[in-house]
Structure 1
Protein backbone atom coordinates (compact mmCIF):
# COMPACT_ATOMS: atom_id res chain seq x y z
CA UNK A 1 0.00 0.00 0.00
CA UNK A 2 1.35 3.47 -0.94
CA UNK A 3 1.84 6.41 1.43
CA UNK A 4 -1.05 8.39 -0.07
CA UNK A 5 -3.51 5.53 0.43
CA UNK A 6 -2.28 5.07 4.02
CA UNK A 7 -2.76 8.78 4.72
CA UNK A 8 -6.31 8.55 3.37
CA UNK A 9 -7.10 5.63 5.69
CA UNK A 10 -5.65 7.47 8.72
CA UNK A 11 -7.51 10.68 7.86
CA UNK A 12 -10.84 8.89 7.23
CA UNK A 13 -10.62 6.99 10.52
CA UNK A 14 -9.86 10.14 12.53
CA UNK A 15 -12.70 12.13 10.99
CA UNK A 16 -15.23 9.31 11.50
CA UNK A 17 -14.12 8.40 15.04
CA UNK A 18 -13.25 11.86 16.36
CA UNK A 19 -15.73 11.77 19.28
CA UNK A 20 -14.64 8.29 20.35
CA UNK A 21 -10.96 9.29 20.11
CA UNK A 22 -11.64 12.43 22.16
CA UNK A 23 -13.43 10.46 24.92
CA UNK A 24 -10.67 7.86 25.12
CA UNK A 25 -7.95 10.50 24.93
CA UNK A 26 -9.43 12.50 27.84
CA UNK A 27 -9.71 9.35 29.99
CA UNK A 28 -6.14 8.24 29.28
CA UNK A 29 -4.67 11.70 29.76
CA UNK A 30 -6.50 12.16 33.07
CA UNK A 31 -4.85 8.97 34.29
CA UNK A 32 -1.44 10.16 33.11
CA UNK A 33 -1.73 13.81 34.18
CA UNK A 34 -0.11 14.99 37.39
CA UNK A 35 -1.96 17.03 39.99
CA UNK A 36 -0.66 20.32 38.54
CA UNK A 37 -2.82 19.96 35.42
CA UNK A 38 -6.00 18.88 37.20
CA UNK A 39 -5.62 21.49 39.97
CA UNK A 40 -5.11 24.52 37.73
CA UNK A 41 -7.71 23.56 35.12
CA UNK A 42 -11.37 22.77 35.82
CA UNK A 43 -12.85 19.60 34.30
CA UNK A 44 -14.93 21.66 31.85
CA UNK A 45 -11.88 23.61 30.65
CA UNK A 46 -9.84 20.39 30.54
CA UNK A 47 -12.39 18.70 28.28
CA UNK A 48 -12.92 21.76 26.05
CA UNK A 49 -9.17 22.28 25.68
CA UNK A 50 -8.74 18.56 25.01
CA UNK A 51 -11.35 18.82 22.24
CA UNK A 52 -9.42 21.74 20.77
CA UNK A 53 -6.23 19.69 21.03
CA UNK A 54 -7.76 16.69 19.22
CA UNK A 55 -9.25 18.99 16.56
CA UNK A 56 -5.86 20.62 16.08
CA UNK A 57 -4.00 17.30 15.85
CA UNK A 58 -6.48 15.86 13.35
CA UNK A 59 -6.43 19.09 11.29
CA UNK A 60 -2.78 18.42 10.47
CA UNK A 61 -3.94 16.14 7.67
CA UNK A 62 -6.27 18.72 6.09
CA UNK A 63 -4.96 22.24 6.74
CA UNK A 64 -2.28 23.96 4.72
CA UNK A 65 1.08 24.37 6.44
CA UNK A 66 0.38 28.04 7.23
CA UNK A 67 -3.09 27.33 8.65
CA UNK A 68 -1.82 24.46 10.75
CA UNK A 69 1.20 26.41 12.06
CA UNK A 70 -1.10 29.26 13.11
CA UNK A 71 -3.49 26.89 14.94
CA UNK A 72 -0.58 25.13 16.59
CA UNK A 73 0.95 28.43 17.71
CA UNK A 74 -2.35 29.65 19.20
CA UNK A 75 -2.88 26.36 21.00
CA UNK A 76 0.66 26.32 22.43
CA UNK A 77 0.17 29.83 23.82
CA UNK A 78 -3.14 28.79 25.36
CA UNK A 79 -1.79 25.72 27.16
CA UNK A 80 1.19 27.68 28.48
CA UNK A 81 -1.27 30.09 30.09
CA UNK A 82 -3.33 27.16 31.41
CA UNK A 83 -0.21 25.66 32.97
CA UNK A 84 -0.08 22.42 30.95
CA UNK A 85 3.48 21.01 31.17
CA UNK A 86 5.24 20.46 27.84
CA UNK A 87 5.68 16.76 28.64
CA UNK A 88 1.89 16.47 29.03
CA UNK A 89 1.29 17.97 25.56
CA UNK A 90 3.91 15.85 23.79
CA UNK A 91 2.65 12.72 25.53
CA UNK A 92 -0.85 13.70 24.39
CA UNK A 93 0.32 13.50 20.77
CA UNK A 94 1.71 10.03 21.37
CA UNK A 95 -1.52 8.88 23.07
CA UNK A 96 -3.52 10.24 20.14
CA UNK A 97 -1.26 8.35 17.72
CA UNK A 98 -1.67 5.14 19.75
CA UNK A 99 -5.46 5.47 19.72
CA UNK A 100 -5.47 5.89 15.94
CA UNK A 101 -3.10 2.94 15.44
CA UNK A 102 -5.07 0.65 17.77
CA UNK A 103 -8.42 1.70 16.26
CA UNK A 104 -7.39 1.07 12.65
CA UNK A 105 -5.92 -2.31 13.63
CA UNK A 106 -9.05 -3.38 15.54
CA UNK A 107 -11.31 -2.44 12.63
CA UNK A 108 -8.96 -4.29 10.27
CA UNK A 109 -8.77 -1.31 7.92
CA UNK A 110 -5.27 -2.44 6.91
CA UNK A 111 -3.88 -5.92 6.38
CA UNK A 112 -1.43 -7.56 8.79
CA UNK A 113 1.32 -6.99 6.25
CA UNK A 114 0.58 -3.23 6.19
CA UNK A 115 0.54 -2.71 9.97
CA UNK A 116 4.17 -1.56 10.02
CA UNK A 117 3.41 0.85 7.16
CA UNK A 118 0.51 2.14 9.24
CA UNK A 119 2.82 2.62 12.24
CA UNK A 120 5.41 4.50 10.19
CA UNK A 121 2.66 6.51 8.46
CA UNK A 122 1.34 7.73 11.82
CA UNK A 123 4.91 8.31 13.03
CA UNK A 124 5.73 10.44 9.95
CA UNK A 125 2.64 12.48 10.73
CA UNK A 126 3.20 12.93 14.51
CA UNK A 127 6.98 13.52 14.64
CA UNK A 128 6.98 16.90 12.85
CA UNK A 129 4.01 17.88 15.00
CA UNK A 130 5.88 17.07 18.21
CA UNK A 131 8.93 19.04 17.03
CA UNK A 132 6.74 22.00 16.13
CA UNK A 133 4.98 21.91 19.52
CA UNK A 134 8.33 21.83 21.36
CA UNK A 135 9.67 24.79 19.35
CA UNK A 136 6.56 26.92 19.71
CA UNK A 137 6.03 25.96 23.34
CA UNK A 138 9.64 26.85 24.22
CA UNK A 139 9.45 30.21 22.46
CA UNK A 140 6.08 31.02 24.03
CA UNK A 141 7.25 29.99 27.49
CA UNK A 142 10.48 31.99 27.21
CA UNK A 143 8.51 35.06 26.15
CA UNK A 144 6.00 34.57 28.99
CA UNK A 145 8.79 34.16 31.56
CA UNK A 146 10.61 37.17 30.15
CA UNK A 147 7.50 39.38 30.42
CA UNK A 148 6.84 38.13 33.96
CA UNK A 149 10.44 38.81 34.90
CA UNK A 150 10.27 42.36 33.56
CA UNK A 151 7.00 42.99 35.43
CA UNK A 152 8.46 41.52 38.63
CA UNK A 153 11.60 43.61 38.33
CA UNK A 154 9.57 46.78 37.87
CA UNK A 155 7.37 45.96 40.85
CA UNK A 156 10.28 44.87 43.04
CA UNK A 157 11.99 48.27 42.98
CA UNK A 158 9.36 51.04 42.81
CA UNK A 159 10.11 54.65 43.66
CA UNK A 160 7.13 55.87 45.67
CA UNK A 161 6.44 59.60 46.17
CA UNK A 162 5.28 60.11 49.77
CA UNK A 163 5.50 63.89 50.17
CA UNK A 164 6.08 66.72 47.76
CA UNK A 165 9.77 66.32 46.82
CA UNK A 166 10.32 63.20 48.98
CA UNK A 167 10.28 59.65 47.58
CA UNK A 168 10.97 56.22 49.05
CA UNK A 169 12.36 53.12 47.33
CA UNK A 170 11.74 50.02 49.50
CA UNK A 171 14.08 47.16 48.57
CA UNK A 172 13.10 43.58 49.42
CA UNK A 173 15.13 40.42 48.79
CA UNK A 174 18.60 39.72 47.48
CA UNK A 175 20.24 42.20 45.12
CA UNK A 176 22.33 40.90 42.24
CA UNK A 177 23.98 42.85 39.40
CA UNK A 178 20.99 42.52 37.07
CA UNK A 179 18.53 43.70 39.70
CA UNK A 180 20.89 46.54 40.70
CA UNK A 181 20.71 47.85 37.12
CA UNK A 182 16.90 47.78 37.30
CA UNK A 183 16.99 49.59 40.67
CA UNK A 184 19.27 52.27 39.23
CA UNK A 185 17.04 52.75 36.18
CA UNK A 186 13.83 52.92 38.24
CA UNK A 187 15.50 55.27 40.70
CA UNK A 188 16.74 57.78 38.13
CA UNK A 189 13.55 57.70 36.05
CA UNK A 190 11.47 58.09 39.22
CA UNK A 191 13.51 61.03 40.53
CA UNK A 192 12.93 62.92 37.27
CA UNK A 193 9.29 61.86 36.94
CA UNK A 194 8.31 62.74 40.53
CA UNK A 195 10.68 65.73 40.76
CA UNK A 196 12.14 64.26 43.93
CA UNK A 197 14.58 66.32 45.98
CA UNK A 198 15.22 63.68 48.65
CA UNK A 199 15.22 59.92 48.03
CA UNK A 200 15.14 57.34 50.83
CA UNK A 201 16.43 53.87 49.93
CA UNK A 202 14.94 51.50 52.50
CA UNK A 203 16.99 48.29 52.90
CA UNK A 204 14.95 46.87 55.80
CA UNK A 205 13.93 43.92 53.60
CA UNK A 206 17.41 43.19 52.19
CA UNK A 207 18.70 40.10 54.04
CA UNK A 208 22.42 40.52 53.30
CA UNK A 209 24.50 43.59 52.53
CA UNK A 210 27.90 42.53 51.23
CA UNK A 211 30.57 44.51 49.37
CA UNK A 212 28.77 44.16 46.03
CA UNK A 213 25.39 45.30 47.40
CA UNK A 214 27.01 48.24 49.19
CA UNK A 215 28.83 49.16 45.98
CA UNK A 216 25.54 49.21 44.07
CA UNK A 217 23.90 51.37 46.75
CA UNK A 218 26.79 53.84 46.69
CA UNK A 219 26.57 53.99 42.90
CA UNK A 220 22.81 54.64 43.13
CA UNK A 221 23.37 57.43 45.66
CA UNK A 222 26.02 59.04 43.44
CA UNK A 223 23.69 58.85 40.43
CA UNK A 224 20.86 60.47 42.42
CA UNK A 225 23.18 63.34 43.38
CA UNK A 226 24.10 63.82 39.71
CA UNK A 227 20.46 64.44 38.81
CA UNK A 228 20.13 67.04 41.57
CA UNK A 229 18.57 65.09 44.45
CA UNK A 230 19.88 63.92 47.83
CA UNK A 231 19.97 60.26 48.85
CA UNK A 232 19.43 58.70 52.26
CA UNK A 233 19.91 55.06 53.28
CA UNK A 234 17.44 53.81 55.90
CA UNK A 235 16.63 50.51 57.57
CA UNK A 236 20.18 49.72 58.66
CA UNK A 237 19.81 46.99 61.27
CA UNK A 238 22.57 46.36 63.85
CA UNK A 239 23.86 43.26 62.04
CA UNK A 240 23.97 45.16 58.74
CA UNK A 241 25.84 48.03 60.41
CA UNK A 242 28.37 45.54 61.81
CA UNK A 243 28.84 43.94 58.40
CA UNK A 244 29.41 47.35 56.78
CA UNK A 245 32.04 48.24 59.41
CA UNK A 246 33.79 44.84 59.16
CA UNK A 247 33.95 45.11 55.37
CA UNK A 248 35.41 48.61 55.60
CA UNK A 249 32.69 50.07 53.37
CA UNK A 250 32.69 53.87 53.33
CA UNK A 251 29.18 55.32 53.55
CA UNK A 252 30.34 58.74 54.74
CA UNK A 253 28.86 60.46 51.69
CA UNK A 254 25.39 59.02 52.39
CA UNK A 255 23.03 60.01 55.21
CA UNK A 256 22.05 56.84 57.08
CA UNK A 257 19.22 56.14 59.53
CA UNK A 258 18.23 52.93 61.23
CA UNK A 259 14.49 53.24 60.55
CA UNK A 260 12.27 54.63 57.82
CA UNK A 261 10.50 56.83 60.40
CA UNK A 262 13.75 58.53 61.41
CA UNK A 263 14.74 58.84 57.78
CA UNK A 264 11.44 60.54 56.97
CA UNK A 265 11.92 63.01 59.82
CA UNK A 266 15.42 63.80 58.56
CA UNK A 267 14.14 64.20 54.98
CA UNK A 268 11.47 66.67 56.13
CA UNK A 269 14.17 68.65 57.95
CA UNK A 270 16.27 68.78 54.79
CA UNK A 271 13.24 70.14 52.96
CA UNK A 272 12.56 72.65 55.77
CA UNK A 273 9.22 71.00 56.43
CA UNK A 274 7.60 69.36 59.42
CA UNK A 275 4.41 67.55 60.26
CA UNK A 276 2.14 69.26 62.73
CA UNK A 277 -0.86 67.90 64.53
CA UNK A 278 -4.11 69.75 63.87
CA UNK A 279 -6.64 69.74 66.71
CA UNK A 280 -6.61 67.67 69.86
CA UNK A 281 -6.83 63.93 70.23
CA UNK A 282 -10.26 62.83 71.41
Structure 2
Protein backbone atom coordinates (compact mmCIF):
# COMPACT_ATOMS: atom_id res chain seq x y z
CA UNK A 1 0.00 0.00 0.00
CA UNK A 2 2.80 2.41 0.88
CA UNK A 3 4.39 1.72 -2.49
CA UNK A 4 1.21 2.28 -4.49
CA UNK A 5 0.84 5.94 -3.56
CA UNK A 6 4.31 7.16 -4.69
CA UNK A 7 4.06 4.98 -7.80
CA UNK A 8 0.66 6.47 -8.60
CA UNK A 9 1.97 10.02 -8.06
CA UNK A 10 4.98 9.40 -10.33
CA UNK A 11 2.82 7.87 -13.08
CA UNK A 12 0.10 10.55 -13.04
CA UNK A 13 2.21 13.56 -12.03
CA UNK A 14 1.37 15.80 -14.99
CA UNK A 15 -2.38 15.27 -14.58
CA UNK A 16 -2.14 15.78 -10.80
CA UNK A 17 -0.37 19.11 -11.28
CA UNK A 18 -2.89 20.33 -13.88
CA UNK A 19 -5.84 19.47 -11.65
CA UNK A 20 -4.08 21.03 -8.67
CA UNK A 21 -3.59 24.23 -10.65
CA UNK A 22 -7.29 24.29 -11.47
CA UNK A 23 -8.17 23.96 -7.80
CA UNK A 24 -5.83 26.83 -6.91
CA UNK A 25 -7.44 29.00 -9.59
CA UNK A 26 -10.88 28.24 -8.22
CA UNK A 27 -9.76 29.23 -4.72
CA UNK A 28 -7.54 32.22 -5.55
CA UNK A 29 -8.29 33.06 -9.20
CA UNK A 30 -5.61 33.81 -11.75
CA UNK A 31 -3.96 36.07 -9.15
CA UNK A 32 -2.23 32.99 -7.76
CA UNK A 33 -0.37 32.42 -11.02
CA UNK A 34 0.13 36.08 -11.89
CA UNK A 35 2.44 36.58 -8.90
CA UNK A 36 4.61 33.60 -9.88
CA UNK A 37 6.30 32.76 -13.18
CA UNK A 38 5.08 29.56 -14.83
CA UNK A 39 8.47 27.92 -14.49
CA UNK A 40 8.45 28.55 -10.73
CA UNK A 41 5.00 26.97 -10.38
CA UNK A 42 6.06 23.96 -12.43
CA UNK A 43 9.35 23.47 -10.60
CA UNK A 44 7.81 23.88 -7.16
CA UNK A 45 4.94 21.52 -8.01
CA UNK A 46 7.35 18.81 -9.15
CA UNK A 47 9.51 19.30 -6.06
CA UNK A 48 6.44 18.96 -3.87
CA UNK A 49 5.41 15.77 -5.65
CA UNK A 50 8.95 14.50 -5.26
CA UNK A 51 8.67 15.04 -1.51
CA UNK A 52 5.62 12.81 -1.43
CA UNK A 53 7.55 10.05 -3.13
CA UNK A 54 10.60 10.61 -0.88
CA UNK A 55 8.51 10.41 2.28
CA UNK A 56 7.21 6.99 1.32
CA UNK A 57 10.38 5.52 -0.19
CA UNK A 58 13.42 7.03 1.58
CA UNK A 59 14.75 6.84 5.13
CA UNK A 60 13.53 9.44 7.59
CA UNK A 61 16.74 11.46 7.87
CA UNK A 62 17.09 11.97 4.12
CA UNK A 63 13.44 12.94 3.80
CA UNK A 64 13.65 15.43 6.67
CA UNK A 65 16.64 17.10 5.00
CA UNK A 66 14.75 17.44 1.69
CA UNK A 67 11.64 18.67 3.50
CA UNK A 68 13.60 21.34 5.36
CA UNK A 69 15.28 22.59 2.16
CA UNK A 70 11.94 22.71 0.33
CA UNK A 71 10.25 24.66 3.14
CA UNK A 72 13.09 27.18 3.27
CA UNK A 73 12.79 27.79 -0.49
CA UNK A 74 9.02 28.26 -0.22
CA UNK A 75 9.54 30.93 2.42
CA UNK A 76 12.19 32.69 0.34
CA UNK A 77 9.80 32.80 -2.62
CA UNK A 78 7.63 35.08 -0.50
CA UNK A 79 4.45 32.97 -0.56
CA UNK A 80 2.10 33.67 2.33
CA UNK A 81 1.66 30.84 4.81
CA UNK A 82 -2.10 30.83 4.05
CA UNK A 83 -1.39 30.31 0.37
CA UNK A 84 1.10 27.52 1.04
CA UNK A 85 -1.25 25.70 3.42
CA UNK A 86 -4.04 25.89 0.82
CA UNK A 87 -1.69 24.65 -1.91
CA UNK A 88 -0.72 21.64 0.23
CA UNK A 89 -4.36 20.89 1.02
CA UNK A 90 -5.41 21.11 -2.63
CA UNK A 91 -2.54 18.90 -3.75
CA UNK A 92 -3.50 16.29 -1.18
CA UNK A 93 -7.17 16.47 -2.20
CA UNK A 94 -6.23 16.06 -5.86
CA UNK A 95 -4.17 12.93 -5.21
CA UNK A 96 -6.91 11.51 -2.97
CA UNK A 97 -9.61 12.15 -5.56
CA UNK A 98 -7.61 10.59 -8.39
CA UNK A 99 -6.83 7.53 -6.27
CA UNK A 100 -10.59 7.07 -5.85
CA UNK A 101 -11.20 7.52 -9.56
CA UNK A 102 -8.54 4.94 -10.37
CA UNK A 103 -10.15 2.60 -7.82
CA UNK A 104 -6.90 2.32 -5.92
CA UNK A 105 -8.92 3.50 -2.93
CA UNK A 106 -12.26 1.86 -2.21
CA UNK A 107 -14.64 1.44 0.71
CA UNK A 108 -12.63 -1.47 2.12
CA UNK A 109 -9.26 0.30 2.35
CA UNK A 110 -10.14 4.01 2.59
CA UNK A 111 -9.14 4.27 6.26
CA UNK A 112 -5.70 2.77 5.63
CA UNK A 113 -5.02 5.00 2.64
CA UNK A 114 -6.19 8.02 4.59
CA UNK A 115 -3.54 7.25 7.20
CA UNK A 116 -0.88 6.90 4.51
CA UNK A 117 -1.80 10.22 2.87
CA UNK A 118 -2.05 11.97 6.22
CA UNK A 119 1.36 10.58 7.11
CA UNK A 120 3.13 12.55 4.38
CA UNK A 121 0.99 15.68 4.47
CA UNK A 122 1.24 16.30 8.23
CA UNK A 123 5.07 16.57 8.49
CA UNK A 124 5.12 18.83 5.43
CA UNK A 125 2.64 21.22 7.04
CA UNK A 126 4.56 21.20 10.31
CA UNK A 127 7.89 21.86 8.63
CA UNK A 128 6.50 24.73 6.54
CA UNK A 129 4.95 26.34 9.64
CA UNK A 130 8.25 25.97 11.51
CA UNK A 131 10.17 27.47 8.59
CA UNK A 132 7.84 30.47 8.49
CA UNK A 133 8.06 30.84 12.26
CA UNK A 134 11.86 30.79 12.23
CA UNK A 135 12.00 33.24 9.34
CA UNK A 136 9.58 35.57 11.11
CA UNK A 137 11.62 35.45 14.32
CA UNK A 138 14.81 36.23 12.40
CA UNK A 139 13.10 39.09 10.59
CA UNK A 140 11.77 40.61 13.81
CA UNK A 141 15.19 40.27 15.42
CA UNK A 142 16.91 41.96 12.49
CA UNK A 143 14.32 44.73 12.49
CA UNK A 144 14.92 45.37 16.17
CA UNK A 145 18.66 45.57 15.56
CA UNK A 146 18.08 47.93 12.62
CA UNK A 147 15.83 50.17 14.70
CA UNK A 148 18.40 50.28 17.48
CA UNK A 149 21.02 51.31 14.94
CA UNK A 150 18.66 54.02 13.70
CA UNK A 151 18.34 55.32 17.26
CA UNK A 152 21.43 57.43 16.67
CA UNK A 153 23.30 59.18 19.40
CA UNK A 154 22.87 62.88 19.85
CA UNK A 155 24.73 64.74 17.09
CA UNK A 156 26.45 68.02 18.03
CA UNK A 157 25.84 70.49 15.18
CA UNK A 158 27.31 73.68 16.57
CA UNK A 159 28.50 74.65 20.03
CA UNK A 160 25.68 74.13 22.58
CA UNK A 161 23.21 72.88 19.94
CA UNK A 162 22.65 69.19 19.14
CA UNK A 163 20.23 67.21 16.98
CA UNK A 164 18.75 63.74 17.39
CA UNK A 165 17.10 62.49 14.17
CA UNK A 166 14.39 59.88 14.83
CA UNK A 167 13.57 57.38 12.09
CA UNK A 168 10.98 54.60 12.04
CA UNK A 169 8.37 53.41 14.51
CA UNK A 170 8.92 54.22 18.18
CA UNK A 171 7.85 51.59 20.68
CA UNK A 172 8.49 51.39 24.42
CA UNK A 173 11.78 49.49 24.07
CA UNK A 174 13.16 51.87 21.49
CA UNK A 175 11.93 54.92 23.44
CA UNK A 176 14.02 53.76 26.39
CA UNK A 177 17.11 53.54 24.18
CA UNK A 178 16.41 56.99 22.73
CA UNK A 179 16.10 58.43 26.24
CA UNK A 180 19.43 56.92 27.32
CA UNK A 181 21.26 58.17 24.22
CA UNK A 182 19.66 61.58 24.53
CA UNK A 183 20.64 62.17 28.16
CA UNK A 184 24.15 60.78 27.71
CA UNK A 185 24.63 63.01 24.65
CA UNK A 186 23.39 66.15 26.38
CA UNK A 187 25.87 65.69 29.23
CA UNK A 188 28.76 64.63 27.01
CA UNK A 189 28.37 67.47 24.49
CA UNK A 190 27.25 70.05 27.08
CA UNK A 191 24.26 70.86 24.94
CA UNK A 192 21.95 73.71 25.91
CA UNK A 193 19.41 73.14 23.15
CA UNK A 194 18.39 69.75 21.75
CA UNK A 195 16.40 69.33 18.54
CA UNK A 196 14.33 66.14 18.26
CA UNK A 197 13.76 65.70 14.53
CA UNK A 198 10.68 63.51 13.87
CA UNK A 199 10.71 63.96 10.08
CA UNK A 200 11.37 60.23 9.67
CA UNK A 201 8.73 59.04 12.16
CA UNK A 202 5.76 57.77 10.10
CA UNK A 203 3.11 57.93 12.85
CA UNK A 204 2.83 60.07 15.95
CA UNK A 205 0.11 58.72 18.23
CA UNK A 206 -0.59 59.21 21.93
CA UNK A 207 2.10 56.72 22.98
CA UNK A 208 4.78 58.26 20.76
CA UNK A 209 3.87 61.76 21.98
CA UNK A 210 4.09 60.52 25.57
CA UNK A 211 7.61 59.20 24.97
CA UNK A 212 8.65 62.49 23.36
CA UNK A 213 7.25 64.52 26.27
CA UNK A 214 9.09 62.28 28.73
CA UNK A 215 12.32 62.82 26.80
CA UNK A 216 11.82 66.59 26.87
CA UNK A 217 11.19 66.56 30.63
CA UNK A 218 14.34 64.49 31.19
CA UNK A 219 16.39 66.91 29.06
CA UNK A 220 15.15 69.84 31.15
CA UNK A 221 16.24 68.06 34.33
CA UNK A 222 19.84 68.00 33.08
CA UNK A 223 19.75 71.71 32.28
CA UNK A 224 18.99 71.78 28.55
CA UNK A 225 16.01 72.75 26.43
CA UNK A 226 14.23 70.42 24.00
CA UNK A 227 12.70 71.43 20.66
CA UNK A 228 10.51 69.32 18.40
CA UNK A 229 11.17 69.78 14.68
CA UNK A 230 10.02 68.12 11.48
CA UNK A 231 6.29 68.30 12.20
CA UNK A 232 4.53 67.55 8.92
CA UNK A 233 0.96 68.80 8.29
CA UNK A 234 -0.57 65.34 8.76
CA UNK A 235 1.33 64.90 12.03
CA UNK A 236 0.10 68.31 13.23
CA UNK A 237 -3.49 67.29 12.45
CA UNK A 238 -3.06 64.04 14.36
CA UNK A 239 -1.62 65.82 17.40
CA UNK A 240 -4.53 68.26 17.46
CA UNK A 241 -7.12 65.50 16.95
CA UNK A 242 -5.67 63.47 19.81
CA UNK A 243 -5.61 66.48 22.11
CA UNK A 244 -1.89 66.10 22.82
CA UNK A 245 -0.49 69.08 24.73
CA UNK A 246 2.84 70.25 23.34
CA UNK A 247 2.58 73.80 24.68
CA UNK A 248 5.84 73.50 26.59
CA UNK A 249 7.68 72.62 23.37
CA UNK A 250 9.13 74.96 20.82
CA UNK A 251 8.01 73.32 17.58
CA UNK A 252 8.91 73.97 13.95
CA UNK A 253 8.04 72.34 10.66
CA UNK A 254 11.63 71.88 9.46
CA UNK A 255 15.06 71.25 10.90
CA UNK A 256 16.35 74.42 9.24
CA UNK A 257 13.85 76.62 11.06
CA UNK A 258 14.57 74.70 14.23
CA UNK A 259 18.28 75.53 13.94
CA UNK A 260 17.46 79.22 13.59
CA UNK A 261 15.35 79.05 16.77
CA UNK A 262 18.07 77.12 18.58
CA UNK A 263 20.72 79.66 17.67
CA UNK A 264 18.45 82.47 18.86
CA UNK A 265 18.01 80.70 22.21
CA UNK A 266 21.80 80.63 22.58
CA UNK A 267 22.10 84.32 21.62
CA UNK A 268 23.37 83.67 18.10
CA UNK A 269 22.01 84.04 14.62
CA UNK A 270 22.79 83.20 11.03
CA UNK A 271 23.87 86.20 8.98
CA UNK A 272 24.80 86.58 5.36
CA UNK A 273 28.29 87.89 4.68
CA UNK A 274 28.93 89.93 1.56
CA UNK A 275 31.74 88.53 -0.56
TM-score band w.r.t. shorter chain: 0.5 to 0.7
CA distance in 2, matches of 1:188, 1:40: 49
Distance 1:167 1:29 in 2: 54
Structure 1 residue aligned with 2:163: 167
Residue in 1 aligned with 2:121? 126
Which one of 196, 211, 214 corresponds to residue 219 of structure 1?
214
With over 3 angstroms needed to count, the CA separation of the structure-2 counterparts of 1:273 and 1:21, relative to structure 1, is: farther
The root-mean-square deviation of aligned C-alpha atoms, in Å, is 4.5
Give CA deviations for 1:232-274 in whole Å, capped at 9, x if unaligned. Answer: 3335769959956xx5x784xx7x2434333212344578876
Change (3 A) 1:240 1:25: closer
Q: Does 1:18 align with 2:13?
A: yes
Name the CA shift for 1:258/1:93 in 2 (closer, same or farther; >3 Å). Answer: closer
Which residue does the alignment assign to 1:79?
74
**Structure 1 unaligned blocks of 5 or more:** 1-5
Q: Which moved more, 1:221-230 or 1:118-127?
A: 221-230
Per-residue CA deviations over 1:11-50 (Å, capped at 9, x if unaligned) read: 2222333344334333432333356644432333233333
Q: How many equivalent pairs are there?
A: 264
Q: Is the 8 A contact 1:153 1:182 kept in 2?
A: no
Structure 1 residues 137 and 240, CA gap change in structure 2 (3 angstroms): closer
| Structure 1 match to 2:109 | 114
Q: For residue 109 of structure 2, give the secondary structure of its aligned residue in structure 1.
A: helix
* Residue of structure 1 in register with 2:50 after alignment: 55
Contact 1:167 1:196 in 2 (8 A): no
**Cα deviation, residue 276, structure 1:** 5.4
Where does structure 2 lack aligned partners over 5 or more consecutive residues?
none
Residues 76-124 of structure 1: per-residue CA shift (max 9 Å, x gap): 3333343323233223333333333344444445676334432332223
Distance 1:49 1:7 in 2: 23
Which of 93, 100, 122 is 1:98 aligned to?
A: 93
2:165 alignment partner, SS class: strand
Distance 1:46 1:235 in 2: 47
Query: Aligned to 2:196, what secondary structure does the other structure show?
Result: strand
Task: Confirm whether residue 66 of structure 1 aligns to residue 61 of structure 2.
Answer: yes
Greater Cα shift, 155-164 or 111-120: 155-164
Q: Which of 234, 246, 258 lines up with 2:252 in the alignment?
A: 258
Aligned with 1:7: secondary structure? Answer: coil
Residue 138 and residue 168 in structure 1: after superposition, are their counterparts in 2 closer, same or farther (change >3 A)? Answer: closer
Rounded Cα–Cα distance in structure 2 between residues aligned with 1:87 and 1:111: 31
What secondary structure sits across from 2:117 in the alignment?
helix
Task: Give the Cα–Cα distance (whole angstroms) in 2 for the partners of residues 52 and 224 of structure 1.
Answer: 60
Distance, in Å, in 2 between the alignment partners of 1:35 and 1:186 is: 51
